[in-house]
Chains A and B, each alone.
Chain A
Amino acid sequence: MKNSYYILLFAILVSVGCADEFLDKAPQAKISTTGLASEDGIAGILVGAYKSLNNAGLDGQAPWENDIHNWVFGGIPSDNAVKGTDAGDQPEQSFIEAYDLNSFNNHIKNKWRGVYKGVARANDVITAIIALQEGDNAMSQAKADQMTAEARFIRGVMHLEAQKMWRNPIYVGDDVYNLNDVNSTKVPNTGPIWDKIEADFEAAASVLPATQSDKGRPTKWAAKAFLAKTMLSQGFPGGSANAGKLNSAKTLLLEVVNSGQFKLMDKFEDNFYVSTNNNEESVFEVQMEVSSASWDAGNAGIGLAHPYISPWGCCGFYQATQDLINSFRTDAATGLPLLDDYNKDNVTDPLNGAVVDPNQSFDARIDHSIGRPGILYKRFHIMGNDYIRDITYAGPYFMQKHVAEPEAFGVAGWGNISSNNYRIIRLSMVYLWLAEIEVETGSLEKAREYVNLLRARAANPDGFVPEAIQGAARGDYTTTANPAANYNTQEYPGPWTDKNTARKAVRHENRMETAGEGHRFFDLQRWGVQNDVLTKYVNFEKQYRIYLNNANFEFPKNEYYPIPQEAIDNSQLEGAATLTQDSNY
Chain B
Amino acid sequence: MKNTYFKTFLYMAVFLLSIGMYAQTISGVVTSEDGPLPGAAVQIKGTNTGVSTDFDGNFSIEAGADDTLVFSFVGFATQEILVGDQDQITVTLEVANLLEEVIVTTGYGTQEKRDVTGAVTVIDAEDLVAIPATTFAQQLQGRASGVNIINDATPGGEATVRIRGFGTVGNNNPLYVIDGVPSDSQNNLNPNDIETIQVLKDASAASIYGARAGNGVIVVTTKKGKLGKPKITFSTYHGTQNAAKDVDALNARDLGEYLYFADVYAGKTPSHGQYTFPSGPAVSNPTIGIPNYVFPSGAASVNVADYSLTPSNIYAITESADTNWWEEVTRENAPIKSYQVEASGATEDSRYSFTMGYFSQDGVVNFVSYDRMSIRLNTSFDALDDRLQVGENFTVSLGNRKGGFGNNSEQNAVSGSYKHHPLLPVYDIAGNFAGSRGQNLGNNYSPYATIHRNQDDRTWRIRILGNAYASYEIIPDLTIKTSFGIDLNTDRTRNIGRPQPEYVEGNFINSSSQSSGYNYQWVFTNTVAWSKTFGAHEVEALAGIEAIEQFGEYFGAGRNKFPFETNDIISYLSLGDATTSSNYGDVGSDYSLFSQFLNANYAYNDRYLLSLTVRNDASSRFKKATNSALFPAASVGWRISEEDFFPQGGFISTMKVRYGWGVTGNQSIGDYNAYTTYRSNIYNSGYPITGSGVTIGFDAAAFGNEAAQWETTTTNNVGVDMALLDSKLTVELDIWDRKTTDMLLQVPITFSNGDAQAPAINIGGVTNTGYDLIVGYADRKGDFGYSLSANISGYTNEVDALDNPDSRIYGYGSRVPSMTVTQQGEEISSFFGFNTLGIFQSQSEADSWAPYGTYNSPGKFKIEDTNSDGQINDSDRGIIGSPHADYTYGLNLNLDYKNWSLNVFGNGSQGNEIFNYVRFFADFNSFQGNRSTRALRDAWQPSNPSAPKSAWTAANPNATSPIMDANDQTSSRVSTYLIEDGSYFRIKNIQLTYNFDDTINSLLGIAGGNIYLQAQNMITITDYSGLNPEIQTGADTTMGFDGGYMPVSKTVIVGLNINL
Q: Which residue of chain A has the shortest Cβ distance to B547 in the bound complex? A: A15
Among listed A31-39, A132-140, A423-431, A511-519, interface-contacting one: A31-39
Is B475 part of the binding interface, using a Cβ–Cβ cutoff of 8 Å?
yes
Is A28 part of the binding interface, using a Cβ–Cβ cutoff of 8 Å?
yes
The answer on a CB contact under 8 Å between A27 and B581 is no
Q: With contacts defined as CB atoms under 8 Å apart, how many contacts are there between chain A and chain B in the complex?
A: 356
Q: Which residue of chain B has the shortest Cβ distance to A213 in the bound complex? A: B690
- As a 0/1 sequence over residues 186 to 207 of chain A, the CB contacts with chain B under 8 angstroms (1 = contact) are 1100000000000000000000
Q: B308 — which chain A residues lie within 8 A by C-beta?
A: 473
Q: A120 — which chain B residues lie within 8 A by C-beta?
A: 700, 752-755
The answer on a CB contact under 8 Å between A473 and B698 is no
Candidate in A57, A308, A475 with the most chain B CB atoms within 10 angstroms? A57
The answer on a CB contact under 8 Å between A293 and B580 is yes
> In the complex, how many angstroms separate the beta carbon of B685 from the nearest chain A beta carbon?
4
Known: A47-B698, A87-B969, A313-B507. A569 touches B688 (CB 8 A): no
Is A89 part of the binding interface, using a Cβ–Cβ cutoff of 8 Å?
yes
**Chain A: interface residue count, which band?**
35 or more
Is A180 part of the binding interface, using a Cβ–Cβ cutoff of 8 Å?
yes
- As a 0/1 sequence over residues 420 to 445 of chain A, the CB contacts with chain B under 8 angstroms (1 = contact) are 00000000000000000000000000
> In the complex, how many angstroms separate the beta carbon of B389 from the nearest chain A beta carbon?
14
The answer on a CB contact under 8 Å between A572 and B594 is no
The answer on a CB contact under 8 Å between B696 and A47 is yes
Known: A53-B687, A292-B579. A58 touches B755 (CB 8 A): yes
- As a 0/1 sequence over residues 751 to 774 of chain B, the CB contacts with chain A under 8 angstroms (1 = contact) are 111110011000000000000000
Q: With the chains together, A11 CA to B524 CA distance in Å?
A: 11
> In the complex, how many angstroms separate the beta carbon of B181 from the nearest chain A beta carbon?
18
Q: With the chains together, A385 CA to B439 CA distance in Å?
A: 9
Q: Indicate which residue in B686, B755, B874 contacts A102 across the interface (CB closer than 8 Å).
A: B874
- A contact face: mostly helix, strand, loop, or mixed: loop
Candidate in B592, B702, B803, B969 with the most chain A CB atoms within 10 angstroms? B969
Q: Which residue of chain A has the shortest Cβ distance to B686 in the bound complex? A: A297
Candidate in B268, B312, B675, B755 with the most chain A CB atoms within 10 angstroms? B755
Is A452 part of the binding interface, using a Cβ–Cβ cutoff of 8 Å?
no
Q: Indicate which residue in B311, B703, B748 contacts A566 across the interface (CB closer than 8 Å).
A: B748
Q: Indicate which residue in B580, B590, B680 contacts A413 across the interface (CB closer than 8 Å).
A: B580
Q: With the chains together, A102 CA to B591 CA distance in Å?
A: 43
The answer on a CB contact under 8 Å between B754 and A88 is no
Q: With the chains together, A185 CA to B755 CA distance in Å?
A: 13
Is B515 part of the binding interface, using a Cβ–Cβ cutoff of 8 Å?
no
Among listed B66-74, B359-367, B919-927, interface-contacting one: B919-927
The answer on a CB contact under 8 Å between B969 and A570 is no
Residues of B651-699 contacting chain A, CB below 8 A: 671-672, 675-699
Known: A51-B687, A575-B805, A585-B874. A28 touches B926 (CB 8 A): no
The answer on a CB contact under 8 Å between A30 and B682 is no
Candidate in B442, B475, B853 with the most chain A CB atoms within 10 angstroms? B853
Is B804 part of the binding interface, using a Cβ–Cβ cutoff of 8 Å?
yes
Q: Indicate which residue in B676, B753, B853, B925 contacts A184 across the interface (CB closer than 8 Å).
A: B753
Is A226 part of the binding interface, using a Cβ–Cβ cutoff of 8 Å?
no
The answer on a CB contact under 8 Å between A546 and B267 is yes
Is A571 part of the binding interface, using a Cβ–Cβ cutoff of 8 Å?
yes
The answer on a CB contact under 8 Å between B594 and A22 is yes
> In the complex, how many angstroms separate the beta carbon of B103 from the nearest chain A beta carbon?
26
> In the complex, how many angstroms separate the beta carbon of A528 from the nearest chain B beta carbon?
24
Is A161 part of the binding interface, using a Cβ–Cβ cutoff of 8 Å?
no
Is A1 part of the binding interface, using a Cβ–Cβ cutoff of 8 Å?
yes
Residues of A279-315 contacting chain B, CB below 8 A: 287-289, 291-294, 296-297, 308, 310-311, 313-315
Is A117 part of the binding interface, using a Cβ–Cβ cutoff of 8 Å?
yes
The answer on a CB contact under 8 Å between B678 and A182 is no
Known: A27-B675, A104-B817, A287-B687. A549 touches B967 (CB 8 A): yes
Is B1002 part of the binding interface, using a Cβ–Cβ cutoff of 8 Å?
no
> In the complex, how many angstroms separate the beta carbon of A217 from the nearest chain B beta carbon?
7
The answer on a CB contact under 8 Å between A297 and B682 is yes
Is A23 part of the binding interface, using a Cβ–Cβ cutoff of 8 Å?
yes
Known: A87-B969, A214-B690, A217-B689. A31 touches B592 (CB 8 A): no
Known: A215-B691, A315-B443, A569-B806. A4 touches B682 (CB 8 A): no
Known: A57-B683, A413-B580, A475-B313. A89 touches B927 (CB 8 A): yes
Is A521 part of the binding interface, using a Cβ–Cβ cutoff of 8 Å?
no
Is A463 part of the binding interface, using a Cβ–Cβ cutoff of 8 Å?
no
The answer on a CB contact under 8 Å between A475 and B312 is yes
Q: Which residue of chain A has the shortest Cβ distance to B581 in the bound complex? A: A293
> In the complex, how many angstroms separate the beta carbon of B505 from the nearest chain A beta carbon?
4
Is B704 part of the binding interface, using a Cβ–Cβ cutoff of 8 Å?
yes
Is B511 part of the binding interface, using a Cβ–Cβ cutoff of 8 Å?
yes
The answer on a CB contact under 8 Å between B969 and A106 is no
Is B549 part of the binding interface, using a Cβ–Cβ cutoff of 8 Å?
yes
Q: Which residue of chain A has the shortest Cβ distance to B833 in the bound complex? A: A104
Is B1025 part of the binding interface, using a Cβ–Cβ cutoff of 8 Å?
no
> In the complex, how many angstroms separate the beta carbon of B439 from the nearest chain A beta carbon?
8
Known: A4-B474, A33-B678, A44-B698. A215 touches B577 (CB 8 A): no
Q: Indicate which residue in A8, A50, A180, A393 contacts B687 across the interface (CB closer than 8 Å).
A: A50
Among listed B26-34, B790-798, B807-815, B1038-1046, interface-contacting one: B807-815
> In the complex, how many angstroms separate the beta carbon of A161 from the nearest chain B beta carbon?
13
- As a 0/1 sequence over residues 455 to 475 of chain B, the CB contacts with chain A under 8 angstroms (1 = contact) are 000000000000000001011
Q: B817 — which chain A residues lie within 8 A by C-beta?
A: 92, 102, 104-106
Q: B676 — which chain A residues lie within 8 A by C-beta?
A: 32-33, 179-180
> In the complex, how many angstroms separate the beta carbon of B963 from the nearest chain A beta carbon?
14
The answer on a CB contact under 8 Å between A12 and B545 is yes
The answer on a CB contact under 8 Å between B507 and A415 is yes
Is A368 part of the binding interface, using a Cβ–Cβ cutoff of 8 Å?
no
Q: With the chains together, A103 CA to B877 CA distance in Å?
A: 11
Q: A116 — which chain B residues lie within 8 A by C-beta?
A: 751-752, 754
Is B266 part of the binding interface, using a Cβ–Cβ cutoff of 8 Å?
yes
Is B560 part of the binding interface, using a Cβ–Cβ cutoff of 8 Å?
yes
The answer on a CB contact under 8 Å between B579 and A293 is yes
Is A216 part of the binding interface, using a Cβ–Cβ cutoff of 8 Å?
yes
Known: A24-B620, A51-B685, A104-B877. A215 touches B312 (CB 8 A): no
Is A211 part of the binding interface, using a Cβ–Cβ cutoff of 8 Å?
no
Is A470 part of the binding interface, using a Cβ–Cβ cutoff of 8 Å?
no
Q: A41 — which chain B residues lie within 8 A by C-beta?
A: 698
- As a 0/1 sequence over residues 18 to 53 of chain B, the CB contacts with chain A under 8 angstroms (1 = contact) are 000000000000000000000000000000000000
Q: With the chains together, A15 CA to B547 CA distance in Å?
A: 8
Q: With the chains together, A103 CA to B808 CA distance in Å?
A: 14
The answer on a CB contact under 8 Å between A48 and B685 is yes
- As a 0/1 sequence over residues 99 to 120 of chain A, the CB contacts with chain B under 8 angstroms (1 = contact) are 0101111100000110011011
The answer on a CB contact under 8 Å between B925 and A87 is yes
Q: A113 — which chain B residues lie within 8 A by C-beta?
A: 751, 755
> In the complex, how many angstroms separate the beta carbon of A565 from the nearest chain B beta carbon?
6
Q: Indicate which residue in A35, A91, A562 contacts B874 across the interface (CB closer than 8 Å).
A: A562
The answer on a CB contact under 8 Å between A547 and B266 is yes
> In the complex, how many angstroms separate the beta carbon of B437 from the nearest chain A beta carbon?
9
Q: Which residue of chain A has the shortest Cβ distance to B549 in the bound complex? A: A22
Residues of A532-585 contacting chain B, CB below 8 A: 546-547, 549-552, 562, 565-567, 569-577, 585
Interface residues of B (CB under 8 A from A): 263, 266-268, 271-273, 308, 311-315, 439-440, 442-443, 472, 474-475, 480, 482, 503-507, 509, 511, 524, 526, 528, 545, 547, 549, 560, 577, 579-582, 585-587, 590-594, 618-621, 624, 627, 671-672, 675-704, 747-755, 758-759, 803-808, 810, 813, 815-818, 853-855, 873-874, 877, 924-928, 966-967, 969-970, 972
20 further A-B contacts with Cβ under 8 Å, apart from A16-B545, A315-B505, are A27-B672, A30-B678, A44-B685, A47-B697, A48-B697, A49-B699, A51-B685, A88-B969, A91-B926, A116-B754, A121-B700, A170-B752, A185-B753, A215-B690, A216-B687, A292-B580, A313-B503, A392-B263, A419-B688, A569-B807
- Pairs A–B under 8 Å by Cβ, sample size 17: A11-B482, A16-B545, A31-B701, A47-B687, A47-B696, A57-B685, A86-B927, A179-B700, A183-B750, A186-B750, A215-B692, A296-B683, A297-B686, A315-B443, A391-B273, A392-B271, A571-B750
